[in-house]
Amino acid sequence: MKSPQSARMIAIGASLVLGALAGAGPANADVPTAAGALQASAQKGIADGYPAVIGMVRSGDTTQYVAAGTGDRATNAPADPKAQFRIGSNTKAFTATVVLQLEAQGKLSLDDTVGTWLPGAVDANGYDGNKITIRELLNQTSGLPDYDTSSTFYNSYASNNEPNRVWAPQTLVDLALAQHRPTAAPGQQFSYANTNFVLAGMVIKAATGNDPAIEIQNRIIGPLGLRNTSFPTSDPTLHGNYLHGYEYQWLGLALREVTVSNVQAFGSAGAMVSTLDDLAAFDRALIGGKLLPPAQEAELKTTVPVGNGTTTRYGLGIGQYQLPCGQWVWTHTGAVLGYISTWEISDDDTKQALVANNEYHLQGNTQGQTDIQKGVNNAFCAL
């Protein structure tokens, strides 16, 4: 079992969230060239050990898909770029959107404190919810630790022996607060934690009376017609057309299926299921200003630095970085047992590159992750 320091899951910190890895590509080329770059990286991903890699690129009204490998090792069925997969931390953009919509409706303010909406929820080990704002939850500057480093949580989730275990949001928050005392004041620095978005989901429920899954369904999934997107709250299985998920065990010598996994483990921080097409449609609507009024769109895109660099930043549930070819993209990565997916989109929403694969064993910076991220960057740079 890995030590708590190495047990980073959904996003493996900012490095996997934003994934700004090296890899340049030709500028001002066409969609077929971009698709070729993404297909080449998909083939590398299969050589690196991924069972399947799927992706899509889009420029204007032109979209092309790529696929390599198998989406189901039991049947050896070819990977389908239309298949569903678990999107992990890409859920965060959906959660942030609902919070921003609630602000636009005057039901809350990003400058409200967590304690205002969730009295006592963050009140242990030196943490004080009355000093943390909702904005600081969404831009990951709250200073709260993550619960995924807790051995209680990690041992359960990593083993995947308890897919139906109940993880109440407050239980996850309590596990996080117990990890260590504060190392930075709220608003002082970026520190990625799923805890922030679990709390954001709790704020949504406090403000509306509904679970965040219901609000996301009613405000985003339904209106956008995302027919293959869902927010499971208890059912750990997938349904319909989906990629089967896998993880390597025993130092990479064996693959086991982990398609069925606990969805309450991440909730509003990472439980959702979608497809490349649906995720791309959501990203276009969000970045293109179709889901938020101008004031909230501006808040969404107001970023804080990630680390000391100037080319990687974080907004409200979305990231921003500068590709090696010089272009800036909005982006995020999601990783849960068996699945990793990444999207990139231009600020004018006219260009997109997305990719997903069906193997993740709670380790970051693998060769497969590096090769796939380079491919996404190359593909976008070719658009």
d(CA 259, CA 248): 13
Q: How many other C-beta atoms can be found within 10 angstroms of the C-beta atom of residue 103?
A: 22
DSSP code, position 301: T
Residue among 353, 380, 369 nearest 276 (CA): 353
The helix or strand, by DSSP H or E, that contains position 156, with its residue range, turns out to be helix 151-159
| Known catalytic residue at 109 | no
- For the chain, how far is it from start to end, CA to CA, in angstroms? 42
**Cα(262)–Cα(268) distance, integer angstroms:** 13
What does the alpha-carbon distance between residue 52 and residue 251 come to, in Å, rounded to a whole number? 20
Q: Which of 15, 89, 142, 341 is catalytic?
A: 89
Say what the alpha-carbon torsion angle 5, 335, 302, 193 is, to the nearest 10 degrees.
Answer: -30
**Spatial separation of the C-alpha atoms in residues 139 and 259, rounded to whole Å:** 30
Strands annotated E in the chain: 52-59, 62-72, 77-78, 85-86, 246-249, 254-257, 273-274, 304-305, 312-314, 319-322, 328-336, 339-345, 351-357
CB 366 within 8 A of CB 301: no
How buried is 284 (Cβ within 10 angstroms: 0-12 exposed, 13-18 middle, 19+ buried)? Answer: middle
Q: Which residues are catalytically annotated?
A: 89
